Chain A
Amino acid sequence: MTTPRNPLPPPAPRDPLARPQLHPVAPGARSRAMQAMAARAAQGRFVLQACTVCGTATYPPRDACPRCWGTLAWHDQPTGGRVLANTVIRVSTDPYFRDRLPWHMGSIQLDAGPVVLAHLARGLEPGARVTMRLMLDRGGNAALFALPSDAAHPPQPEQGATIMSADPQGRTFVVPVAGATVLVSDARQPVGRALVGALAAAGARLVVAGLPGPAPMRDAHDPVLGLPGVQPLPLDVTDPVSVAETISRIGGPLDIVINTARHVRAGGVSHDGNLLGHHRALEVSAMGLARLAQATAPILAGRPSGAFLDVLSVKALAGDAGHAGFAAAEAARLSLLQSFRHEMRSTGVRVLEVFTGPTDDADHQALPPPKVAPARLAAAVLDALAQGREQTCVGEVAREAMRRWLDDPALFARETQP
């Protein structure tokens, strides 16, 4: 066991008889067309339906073009707009919004054409130019958010993220890291280790660095594990007792869980197959995720901005004869993650996924570039949290694979065979 160099700050004294704060989620029912918009919002796209016949962009989502009755398809759209009217809602009958009043909203004329109702950043008045973001609300549904914009210089994504997390209303659409307690499941691997450093630098209150045993001597002198606000704890996701012990040792609130644990080994199914390796991959990637999710879900559900982020391989999208066990484990992991997301909808806990291609580490020594540097992957995870983005692909390999998979999954499955 690693000796803690930074003892955990004592949790705030809790009154066992106090009534827990309920966290209702934003109203949930949506049409099928609106769900389709959310599916694209999850990828960070700004889309509207446009008519396949006359090209007119339309909103709210419909099932036929209101101008010519043609069929509609989703397209990326310009994000500019202008505030037409605004209000501050001070009374609401909905429990979620009642807890968060006053609420700023207004109508926006989009450069793309339609008039939309949107959440407004503070200080936006009629006539103001805005840049629109298509976000997911705490119920997992698509939501339009208007940010102030200079017509000539629309804010960079990072700027927008800063505005979102600084705005009390905007914070409900993202996962704030500053002040949060975060658990990283495998800080022994370069990716998890880079993440621990990045989270500490981003102002997390406490980063718990989960370390699968046995602990080597070098842990004691590791500069990242020794950073202020970083707490190394033993954590083996293949062992339910270890998971439970780690969670109980954190003791206080836990806001964000980032799961990076995996087991990468080459090998096919019948050829060069190593069933023990396959089994281990499934134990770490799939069952490990399930153990971690099971142990942390109730804690995350009690937090105002709880989130579970999983870093997984883009190999989850299709089988791979060269890494059959690993691809299968990652596919199982993705499936479990999707089910977990559905479960957590009613709690407001965000379940995010970050896909990566081969990372630049010992697991992928034999592969030529391009590979994703751990620091780059860590930055992408922080951006996913800052944007509240459900799905992120890091690097050329993951982005290209996702693009091909979305385009034609059957073709993709054939082409990925070496």
Chain B
Amino acid sequence: MSSSTKRSRMAYDGVVVAAPITVPYQRFSSEPAHGWAGAALRALARETALGPRDLDGFSFSSFSAGPDTAVGLVQHLGLMPRWLDHVPTGGASGVMALRRAARAVQCGDAAIVACVAADTNQIDSFRHTLATFSRFSQDAVYPYGFGGPNATFALITQAYMHEHGVTRADFGRICLAQRANAGSNPLALQRNPLDLETYLAARPIADPVHLFDCVMPCAGAEAFVVTTPEIAAARGWPAARIMATIERHNAYPDDLVQRRGGWAMDVDELWAMAGIGPGDIDCLQAYDDYPVIVAMQLEDLGFCPPGTIARFLRETHFGIDGTLPLNTNGGQLSAGQAGAAGGYQNLTEGLRQILHCPLGAQVPGARRAAISGFGLVNYDRGVCTAAAVIEAL
């Protein structure tokens, strides 16, 4: 991007995010995605006393609502919004829904936007989701053994381990810490303690990816509300302001194997806009489909200097009471991956921590959270990246 087309960005004044909602996940569900979206809005109504006609903005993300898009959901759920968005960026959809809705509220196009991600996981529906995920994966990825994302991330993981001298035990530190964090989250699907021996001895799925490097697909829904500080205050909703966001798609297409994400292109802008640095945040909710992607985010978002990730993984304590509390609900690796809701749970968890209403244990005195998203393995790598920094009012 030439510097002449790059303009300074407007702060997110006059916008807040509130009302984090998590509908308890289920391993399998015969309920369609629409039902999970309905459950999210019912929970939102209990939390905020909002009804169908109170929302004037609606943003929706799902892999399993087909043939419907956000349009179908509007009529299905009795909404009458004057602003509508469908965000198809999967694991990056939470941050992307937030930053789009924020500008709509800031500019007056909408006043109360409900952002919802919902996905079901019927028996065998995961296979169908994979088989029709994208044209490139249908043509050029899944015919090669149909390992799903496990195989794609196995290739990325192998190259990353080789480049950075990261070992399986180093990745294990991420997975073990998140499992320990999940211990206090009653909604996490996997809460049994995990030790390094068990992690290392797990069965291989697609070498070098082993069982505990993989998320468990499940059904679930997540939601939050974007509105003005005035409305939040009048209705008595605890809320947070948005300090900064970034978004990037198809970054570094000439990297032969994905070795970094779009965060690396935009990290300076993120922290400059926020006016703080990585050391000033109280928890990081990073997208964790595989530990290698968590490691990439730690480096690309500036939590460790370039080239030092192996040491950083060995020396950092990622627990809720640690030096860098990471994925404090257990993340997808322990709580489960509910489709597109997996790209929302990092945002709702970060918001809960700074609003001091966590599902599990509280990060002591948390006020600021960094949230990072990563979505859509269209061919050989994740295409969409995003990040946000939020702060409790």
Interface residues of A (CB under 8 A from B): 26-27, 29-31, 33-34, 59-61, 66, 84-94, 96-97, 103-107, 109, 115-119, 126, 137, 139, 141, 143
Task: Type the 1/0 row for B245-257, where 1 means its CB is closer than 8 Å to any CB of A.
Answer: 0000000010011
Report chain B residues within 8 Å CB of A104. 145
> Interface code B197-227, partner A: CB below 8 Å = 1, 0 otherwise?
0000001111111000000000000000000
Q: How far is the CA of A61 from the CA of B135 in the complex (A)?
A: 10
Q: Does B29 contact A (CB under 8 A)?
A: no
Contact across chains for B139 and A105 when beta carbons are under 8 A apart: no
Residues of B106-152 whose CB lies within 8 A of A: 126-127, 130-132, 135-136, 138-148, 150-151
Distance between B3 CB and nearest chain A CB, rounded to angstroms: 22
| Closest-CB distance, B268 to chain A (whole angstroms) | 27
Interface contact A116-B162, CB-CB below 8 Å: no
User: Please, which residues of chain A bring their CB within 8 A of the CB of B158?
Assistant: 85-87, 126
Q: Is the CB of A117 within 8 A of B205?
A: no
Contact A89 B139 (CB under 8 A): no
Q: Which residues of B contact A106 (CB under 8 A)?
A: 155
Q: Which of B127, B138, B145, B155 contacts A31 (CB 8 A)?
A: B138
Least CB distance from B203 to A in Å reads 7
18 CB-based A-B contacts, threshold 8 Å:
A34-B140, A59-B140, A61-B140, A84-B256, A85-B158, A87-B154, A87-B206, A87-B207, A87-B209, A88-B206, A92-B145, A94-B146, A96-B146, A107-B256, A107-B257, A109-B256, A117-B155, A118-B144
**CB distance A117 to B131 under 8 Å?**
no
Q: Which residues of A contact B155 (CB under 8 A)?
A: 84-87, 106-107, 117
The interface size of chain B toward A, counting residues with CB under 8 Å, comes to 38
Distance (whole angstroms) from the CB of A101 to the closest CB of chain B: 8
The secondary-structure label for the interface of chain A is mixed
Is the C-beta of B361 less than 8 angstroms from some C-beta in chain A?
Answer: no
Q: Are A60 and B206 in contact (CB under 8 A)?
A: no
Contact A92 B147 (CB under 8 A): yes
* Cα-based distance from A104 to B154 in the complex (angstroms): 12
Residue B28 interfacial (CB < 8 Å) = no
Which residues of A lie under 8 Å from residue B135 when comparing CB positions? 31, 60
B380 at the interface (CB under 8 A from A): yes
Contacts of A59 in B (CB 8 A): 140
The answer to whether B159 touches A89, judged by C-beta atoms less than 8 angstroms apart, is: no
Minimum CB–CB distance for B319 against chain A, Å: 30
Q: Which residues of A contact B131 (CB under 8 A)?
A: 27, 29, 94
B303 interface hit (Cβ, 8 Å): no
Contact partner of B147 (CB less than 8 A), chosen from A29, A89, A139, is A89
Tell me the smallest distance from the CB of A56 to a CB of chain B, in Å. 12
- Give the one of A90, A118, A139 with max B CB within 10 A: A90
In the complex the two chains form, is B143's CB within 8 Å of A107's CB? Answer: no
> Which of A89, A106, A115, A143 has the most chain B CB atoms closer than 10 A to its own CB?
A89
Give the shortest distance, in Å, between B64 (CB) and chain A (any CB): 15
